[in-house]
Every structure is written in structure tokens, then in C-alpha cells.
Structure 1
Amino acid sequence: MNKKLTRILKISIPLLLGIFLIWYSLESSTPQERENLWQSIREANKFWILVSFLLGTLSHISRAYRWKYMLEPMGYSSSLSNRFMAVMAAYLANFGIPRSGEVLRAVTLTTYEDVPFEKGFGTIISERVADLLILMLIIGLALIFQTNDLLAYLHNQNINPLFTFFIFLGLVGIAILGLNLIRRSNWLPFKKIKELAKGLLDGMKSILKMRQKWAFILHTIFIWTAYLIMFFVIKLSIPETTDTPIGIIMAAFVVGSFAVSATNGGIGVYPLAVGGVLMFFGVEKHGAEAFGWISWATQTAVVLLFGGLSFIFLPLLNNRK
């Protein structure tokens, strides 16, 4: 299979999967269920949707601001506007090519702020590690709040968390073996990989050299608190979910966090996954699905608006570069 066809398939398959899931969800519903869903979306309280939109925007600004704490130890400075536009352009790129955003984000800073790609990309990896730790904490809290029901949901969906954990450990083991092989080899391609890896490692280690560690930690907490609250307030916009306990909302948030990477921008998968969790815990179908769609649409609107503007204004505001 040639490389061009492989790239096309990597882009099109997740997108087609998302479109299929949307079609299947609507096709498998009765006309009355579809009408109830549209009614719930139409009648949702717009004030809370706006609050969610603003919180999403603030979280992205905070992420862009936090990035400077990892760049400074390596001697690089950059403008907040360029970092913010790089972040938003990266999120928008993920709608076209899943997981391409991190690369584009590093490339953007290389282009407009002269930060070497491998070092910028290394800081993004470190940032993802910090975010993963917070997500693990949220998963832990969700388990504490809703242990029995969440385990029952996973069992009902034939998902074995222990099996997933062992797969993760296996992948980590394979990665370590591969890195050791590359480190000991003198083969020219491996030498180039080692040079790239050294730059990545410098970027990743910047998190340990930060002068303002507490500021970085506070921004990380704010980012994820904003994520949670922007998700939580959507429940206030729909009558069927207003009284839903926080433990159930957190469980839906966790599932949505993993579902968003399954297709381009979570299209199709995210609303169905979030709605499925809420329905499992007893929320009416149209209210649960409306929650999933409104939550996804609000997050997507933030990315489409600011990501689109970023692609336009990055070259305009940096025309001298």
C-alpha cells in the first residue's frame, strides 16, 4: 500500500466512522425520539451554553500562557498571541488529521518564534504527561463517587480496565526496548533518531527546570477545572439533566475525554459516548443525547472560531517573519 493511500485512509476512516455513527444513531431512533432530541437541543438554556463556551476559551488561553514556563528554561521567549494561535490551530488541525495538531503546534512556534521543532515538541509531550496525571486524578475521583455504577457500565460495555492497563504496560515495555536498541546502535538512521530524541528530551526535561513550578501547577489545575465546569454547566441547560449527581457527570466526562480522540474531533463518537453513560445511569434518552451533542458542539465551536481565526491571523500578524 503506497504512502499516499495510507495517509488518505488515516484521515478518512475516522471521519467516515464518525459520520456513520451519527447516521446510525438517528436511523435507529424512532421519529418521536428524534423529535424529543431536537426539542431538547432547541430549548436548552443558552446562558449556560455561553458560560461553557467562555470557560472553554479561558482554558485554552491558560494552556497557551502555561506553555511559556516550559520554553523559558531553554532560553526561548515567545508572545502569548502566537502561543494561543498555535494551540488553537493545532486543535483545529485535529479535525482534519487526528493527532496532527501537536506536530503543527511545534512547527508553528518554530516558524514564528524560532524555537527548534524537537525542543518545542518535547515541551508539548511534557505538557501531555502533566495533563494525563490530572486526568488520572479525575478518573480516581469519578471511581470514588460512582464506583459500583461505573464498574457496572464498563462490564456492560465489555470493557476490562485491567486488560487495558496491561496493554499500556506492554506498549511501554516495547518502547523501552526499542529506545535501548536505538541508543546502542551506530547505524546512521538511528544516529539521526538519537539527535532528534536528544532535542525532545531537552524539551521534556524543561518541566523539571522551571523557575515558576507553582504557576505551572496552578495553570494546569485551572485548565482542567475549567474543562470540568464547562462540561458540568451543560447539565444546567437541559431540564432532564439538571438534577444529575456530580459523580455521574464526572463519569461521563471521563468517557468523553477518551472518546474525543476516536474520530476527527470526536465527531459522532463523543456525543454518543457521553449520552450513553448518562442513559446508563437513568437519564432520559433525549436529554442524555442532547447533553452529549450540546457539550460537543460547544467545545467544537470554540475550536472552529478561534482555530479558524488563528490560521488567518498567524501569517498576517507575523508577516515580517
Structure 2
Amino acid sequence: MKKAINKGIKTFAPMALGVFFIWYSLSKFSSEELNQLWLNIKNVDLIWVVISLLMGVLSHLSRAYRWKFLLEPVQILPKFYNSFLALMLGYLANLGIPRSGEVLRGATLASYENEKFEKTFGTIITERLVDMLMLLAIVGLTSISQSAKIFAFFSSQNINPFFGGLVIITLILLLIVGFRIIKNSRLPFFQKLKNFIEELFNGMKSVFSMKKKAYFLIHTFIIWGLYVGMFYVLKFAFPETQQLGLEAIFVAFIFGAFAMTVTNGGIGLYPIAIGIAFNTFGVSSATGEAFGWVMWGTQTGLVIVLGGLSFLVLPLLNRR
């Protein structure tokens, strides 16, 4: 009973938080501003929205293709369509239960390719670590170039960014201590856990034994270039954001990326984060949040469509 309650809280708490942010986002506008928000969304230039969507599709295809370079060293050679459909299925799951998509993605590929889940999941962890380094690099470079605006925002919201860093360091230290306890324990449960972790690390170490590291790096830059690119091209869909430079796009991109980790797929919070970021560059909140809603809505819709199709197509393509 207790486990069911905890699972329910983990599933629905982020969704409830997202609903709250939707309410908060709309409640802080006057009726005039709400009308302007709706008009901005209604009058968006669809050509740029479609270009942004196509770039999103290309980023997913590139990510699915990049995955094969991590799988090769652990002797897994999946069909490309299985990699892509498992990826989209994972993205869809993340909209419901945060971080569940990585597990479902690894389990789906392992099931259809008749491989060990630990190996596929280990490569996904490696992939996420690489992507985290890319995000941190973007955050670092943007923070250096736009430090005045970012720290001014933190100050206005009474946020201490150093506290967040301290929390991350503490969690890393706890993980190290936990791994040492598991490694040295003789208990049967910890021994099984140790074996599972070793299999994960075998998958994670695949990044060092890749034969085509250059191709992996090229696709990594392509993926993140497309992420920023689909954000950049969408600025041309709104008259008020067309003159924004790359510095504003990068700041908004970072704000949006962190918003995605707080609620299920950024629901509710993503448009607020984009609105705040653009507001620091002189864009009205109504336009900034309209941009956020269009970006979030189109990319989330893409995941729902492709992820939903994956449920239907995967069993048909793997009937044997």
C-alpha cells in the first residue's frame, strides 16, 4: 500500500505542479494581456513553426542513429527503426512519469533485439551523461557572456545559484558512499545489485571502446545544434522576437531546459521560463510566453504523435 502511494505521488506530483504553473501563468495576466497572448499564438507564422518541427524530427533521428555507436562495443546491432521507435516511446513515457522513458526505451530495445536490458540501459546512461556535459557547456558559456543578466534575474527572484551547486555536490558524494557500501557488502541483495551495476557500467564504458568516436561526436553536435536551431528559427514566427540575437536565444534555451526537468516535459513551467528569459531582453511577457507555449506545444505534440505510433508500429515490424 505504501509503495503504491509513493508511486502515485511520484507520478502525479509533477503533473499537479504543471497544472498549477498553467494556472499561475494565466492568472498573472490581465484580460488585455490574455487577449494579446492568444493573438500572438493565433497569428504565429506557421512556416517557421513547421521548420522548427522538422528540425525536431531530425534531432530525434540523429539521436537514434548516434545510439548505435554506443551499442556496437557491447555487441548489440539493432535495426535503426527499433532504435528510433524505442526512443520515441521513451520520450512519450517521460511526459507521464519523469525519467521513466529511459528505462522503457532500454527495455523496449532489449526486448525486440533479444538482448540484456542492463547493457542497453547502461548505454543510455552514458548518452545522458554526454548530453549533460553538452548542456553544462552551453550553460557555462552563456553564463560567462550573459552573467550580468542571469545574476540580476537570480537576485530579483531571491534565488541563490550557489545553493543549487552545493546540493548537486552533496548528491554526488552520497552516491559515491552508496556505491562503496554496495561494493563491500556480502549481503545477497547487495551482491545482486552489485552485479546489476557492473553490467550497467559495461554499457556505460562503451563510449571509450567505440570504433567511430568521431561520428558519435559529430552526431552529438548535430543534435544540440538542431535543439538550439529549432529554438532560433521559431523567433521569426513572432514580430516582437525577430530582432533577438543569439545571446537571448541561448539564455531562453537554458531557462527552458531547466524547466523541462521540474515538471512532466515542462508542462506549465516551460512557457513561464521562456517568458521570464525573453523579458530580460525587452520582450513583453505575453509574447515571450506565447513563444514558450508554441515551442512546448508543437514539440510535445510531435512526441505524442510519434510515440503513439511507436506503440502500434513496433509490434508490427517485429512480428517474428
Q: TM-score range by the shorter chain?
A: over 0.9
Are 2:80 and 1:75 equivalent residues in the alignment?
Answer: no
Name the residue aligned to 2:200. 200
Q: Which letter does structure 1 place at the counterpart of 2:168?
A: F
Task: Determine the structure 2 residue equivalent to 1:315.
Answer: 315
Residue 145 of structure 1 and its aligned partner are, at CA, apart by 3.0
* Residue range with higher mean Cα deviation, 29-38 or 207-216: 29-38
The TM-score with structure 1 as length reference comes to 0.97
Task: Name whichever of 114-123 and 157-166 sits farther off.
Answer: 157-166
Alignment of 1:203-242 (within 5 A): 203-242=203-242
120-129 or 9-18: bigger deviation: 9-18
Q: Distance in 2 between the 1:166 and 1:12 partners?
A: 28
Residue aligned with 1:283, SS: coil
Aligned-partner residue type, residue 124 of structure 2: I
- Runs (4+) off by over 3 Å: none
Q: Where do 1:1-321 residues align within 5 Å?
A: 2-320=2-320
Output the CA distance in 1 between the equivalents of 2:248 and 2:310.
35
Share of identical aligned residues, percent? 46
CA apart distance, 1:52: 0.5
Gaps of 5+ in 2: none
Q: Aligned equivalents of 1:12 and 1:129: distance in 2? A: 27
- SS at the partner of 1:191? helix
Cα displacement (A) at 1:161: 2.2
Measured in 2, the distance between the counterparts of 1:18 and 1:166 equals 26
What is the letter of the counterpart of residue 226 of structure 1?
Answer: L
Per-residue displacement from partner, 1:78-131 (whole Å, max 9, x unpaired)? Answer: 011000001000000011111100000010011101221111111001001110
1:261 is paired with a residue whose SS is helix
C-alpha separation in 1, matches of 2:264 and 2:272:
14
SS at match of 2:262: coil
* Mean Cα deviation higher: 260-269 or 217-226: 260-269
* Per-residue deviation, residues 3-44 of structure 1 (Å, max 9, x unmatched): 111111111111111112112221221111111001001111
Q: CA deviation at 1:220?
A: 0.3
CA-based RMSD: 1.1
Deviation string for 1:130-156 (max 9, x for gaps)? 101111111122123312111111222
Once the two structures are TM-superposed, the CA of residue 159 in structure 1 deviates from its matched residue by 2.4
Residue 301 of structure 1: how far off its partner (Å)? 1.8
The 8 Å contact of residues 90 and 101 in structure 2, kept in 1 or not, is answered as yes
CA contact (8 A) 2:26 2:34 kept: yes
Q: 2-side partners of 1:145 and 1:301: how far apart?
A: 33
Q: Residues of 1 paired with 2:154 and 2:281: CA distance?
A: 12
Offset from partner CA, 1:35-76 (integer Å, 9 cap, x none)? 100100111110110010000000000000000001111111
Q: How many residues align?
A: 320
Q: What's the secondary structure of 1:282's corresponding residue? A: coil
**Distance of 2:131 and 2:189 partners within structure 1:** 32
d(CA) in 2 for partners of 1:163 and 1:30? 34
Gaps (5+ residues) in structure 1?
Answer: none
Q: Distance in 2 between matches of 1:120 and 1:70?
A: 9
More divergent stretch after superposition (259-268 vs 19-28): 19-28
- The CA deviation string for residues 256-302 of structure 1, in whole angstroms up to 9 with x for no partner, is 11111211111101111111111133211211111111111121122
Offset from partner CA, 1:233-262 (integer Å, 9 cap, x none): 111100111111211110110111111121
- Distance in 2 separating the partners of 1:228 and 1:308: 25
